[in-house]
Amino acid sequence: MNTKKVVKTLIKFARREYSEKRPLSVRVLRLKEAQVFSRGGPIKTLRVNQMKNPYYLVVVEYKKQMRIYSYSLNGVSSGAENLDITKNLLDEIKKKTVKEYEIPK
């Protein structure tokens, strides 16, 4: 499945989660590449970036908790977990992801 189809299926899933469970917000996020290795002085001559699994996240936010669904590059679910909302967690998610879709806007 190409990336546009994967994102479309994840958006459908996010809309269904929002209509069924009525959370505060639902976001579809794509993880950024992480830099594994760099070489050179102030001007980097060599950079190696790597994409890690999971590739996409669907974050469902409630008042005090959030549920994070993980998806691979092909759109295959690789699990979910419930986490308490903390400022550090929100900052880390914001720093390491790119927003693809959000309800409500």
| Residue 58 near residue 27, CB atoms below 8 Å | yes
Mean of pLDDT values over 4-8: 92
Question: pLDDT tens, 16-28?
Answer: 999 999 999 999 9
Q: What is the model's pLDDT at position 18?
A: 96
| Residue 10 near residue 75, CB atoms below 8 Å | yes
Q: What is the model's pLDDT at position 39?
A: 75
Phi, psi dihedrals of residue 11, rounded to the nearest 5°: -65, -40
Q: What is the model's pLDDT at position 51?
A: 66
| Residue 62 to residue 28: CA distance in whole angstroms | 15
Q: What is the model's pLDDT at position 2?
A: 83
The pTM assigned to this predicted structure is 0.83
Quote the percentage of the chain above a pLDDT of 90.
66
